[in-house]
Structure 1
Amino acid sequence: MTTSTDKFPTIILIAGHWLGAWAWDEVLEHLATDHSRVTAMTLPGLDGDDPNRASRTLDDQAEAVLEVMTQLGVSEEQPATLVAHSGANAPVSLILDRHPELVRRMVWVDSGPVATGSAFDPNFPVELEELPLPPLDVLANQASLEGLGAEVLERFQARAVPEPGPVLRQPVKLTNDARRKVRTTLVCCSIPSKQVLELAHAGHAMFAEVAHLEHLDVLDLPTGHWPMWSRPRELARAIQSEASRTS
């Protein structure tokens, strides 16, 4: 039996480093859902109008995700689907650890859960407050820009907000193995799912936590690291399909 919650599940979209809610605009246009039950959020530290944004932490970001869930009426009886892209994996991993009962399904977009003790860049200099978006030639060596045209790249550069230093340096502390029981989907874009799973089972630091997930599905959406811009329609379809699943 399909309920209204199955048809119009609560979906929260969370973009990675340098990005805010605006990064999901094209995906939202294609999501076939009740828009009162879907939202894209900007993590603390990535709001360019926040004068204190450079001091925001992973804990601030996790608390903000929980606040959005509360505002949308998410509960143990009506859990949400969280969609996390790239560097949003650290605060969202904290949510999974602290409140697994509030997550119906986890969808990682060219990303995945982090392991306890890990930090994005533990050696990021303490004298630096933030990390601006690198020049595009440098960025292209760090993540695939496949599928992004000149107009999209110009918008990315114009709207990107520097990542707070504390977010980069702070290690993630996880204690609740129940996080691994949440049904999870990996949407694999810049790295094929076969390779991701091989790396996970080999214990690669970036993917090791994937090997511990108890309910895992994988989808391949071949493109670059920012599929919300390169393949927004297909990504929206994948998110809608996974969020509506009953198993």
Structure 2
Amino acid sequence: MTEFVLVAGAWLGGWAWDDVLPDLRAAGHGVHPLTLSGLAERRGEPAGQQTHVQDIVDLVEERDLREVVLVGHSYSGIPVGQAAERIGDRLAHLVLVDANIPVDGQAFVGAGPWGGAVAEAIGANDGFWPPLTAADYAGQGLTDAQIARIVTGSTPHPGGTLTEPAALAGPLAALPATYLTCLLDSPEPPPPVATLLRDAGWHHTTLDTGHWPMFSQPTALADILLTATTH
């Protein structure tokens, strides 16, 4: 039996996976949606990026999970990627859902041209990255009801998790991984991912939806996660 550990991106908690859980459980697998420190029901807990890495490692070790498929979406690909190498032989596969990936010594705010704007927003909002507004979700394949659900459930994201650099013990290329590109968000994976797809033999798949497929296409996303267990 596979044990899926699901970690959503910025502003979101474990609740974001609610529509994906039934299909994974119906297939006979264990499912563990995780809310990272400082978000959703854990709002107010202090958090840096390494706190989030430890959140993931702690869940796997405290529940003594084996045959783990670690799933990271968006921002959470950075702590999930670090946690994947730290859980050792408990890891069966890493799945990155339209995600950032950790680069040793680099922070989330240094991962793209938008990093400066994120850092500025954190500085202007008491150390937190404020959630997106409903208008920001336009063109992402979401219904009005789905957008309202995301906006209502989102909480400010702890800035320290975005400015603290990643720390890798080894190359990500050594990990068995699948990368999902959501085509409405961007038709091409980011350059560091493209390099790993080419050089490390990571499996690559796409979904014709936006950046939040757990809301817009949960059944299709569950199918991709289930397929990842066979790679």
Distance 1:83 1:49 in 2: 20
Match of residue 103, structure 1, among 91, 95, 107: 91
Cα offset, 1:112, TM superposition? 4.5
Q: Which residue of 1 aligns with 2:140?
A: 146
State percent identity of aligned pairs: 26
**After alignment, is 233-242 or 213-222 more displaced?**
213-222
Counterpart secondary structure, 1:38: strand
Give 1:27's aligned amino acid. Answer: V
Q: Distance in 2 between matches of 1:213 and 1:15?
A: 27
Quote the residue 2:48 is aligned against.
57
Out of 29, 38, 59, the residue aligned to residue 31 of structure 2 is: 38
Distance apart, 1:213 and its partner CA: 5.8
Contact 2:3–2:67, Cα closer than 8 Å, also in 1:
yes
Q: Describe the SS at the equivalent of 1:104.
A: strand
In structure 1, the residue matched to 2:129 is 131
Residue in structure 1 matched with residue 151 of structure 2 by the alignment: 157
Q: How many residues align?
A: 220
Alpha carbons of 1:167 and 1:192: their partners in 2 closer, same or farther (altered >3 Å)?
closer
Alignment TM-score, normalising by the size of structure 2: 0.84
Partner of 2:206: 220
CA shift for structure 1 position 208 = 5.9
Paired with 1:58 and 1:134, the residues of 2 have a C-alpha distance of: 20
Q: Report the equivalent of 1:166.
A: 160
Deviations 1:42-86 (A, max 9, x none): 0111134543x3x31111111110111113322xxx331101111
| Residue identity opposite 1:160 in structure 2 | S
Partner of 2:57: 66
Who wins on radius of gyration, i.e. which is larger? 1
Letter in structure 2 aligned against 1:81: V
- Where do 5+ consecutive residues of structure 2 fail to align? 111-115
For 2:113, the equivalent position in structure 1 comes to: none
For the residue of structure 1 that corresponds to 2:18, the secondary structure is helix
5+ residue gaps, structure 1, are: 1-7
What is the alpha-carbon distance in structure 2 between the residues aligned to residue 90 and residue 195 of structure 1? 18
Give 1:169 deviation, angstroms.
0.9
TM-score by length of 1: 0.79
State how far apart, in whole Å, the 2-side matches of 1:49 and 1:23 are.
Answer: 14
Quick one: which amino acid aligns to residue 218 of structure 2? P
| Deviation at residue 224 of structure 1 after TM alignment | 0.3
The letter of the residue matching 1:57 is: G
Q: Once the two structures are superposed, what CA deviation does each residue of 1:105-152 show, in whole Å capped at 9, x if it has no partner?
A: 011111252211221225525743211112233x34xxx742211111
Which residue in the other structure is 1:26 paired with?
A: 19
The C-alpha deviation readout for 1:12-56, integer Å capped at 9, x for no partner, is 111000111110000112223335x211110111134543x3x31
Asked whether the 8 Å contact 1:192–1:222 carries over to 2, the reply is: no
C-alpha separation in 1, matches of 2:76 and 2:180: 14
Q: 1:190 to 1:157 in 2, by over 3 A?
A: same
> Aligned partner of 1:101: which letter?
D
Report the Cα distance in structure 1 between the residues aligned to 2:88 and 2:198, rounded to whole angstroms: 15
C-alpha change, 1:162 and 1:145, in structure 2 (3 Å) is farther
1:17 aligns with 2:3: no
The root-mean-square deviation of aligned C-alpha atoms, in Å, is 2.4
Q: 2:106 aligns with which of 110, 113, 118?
A: 118
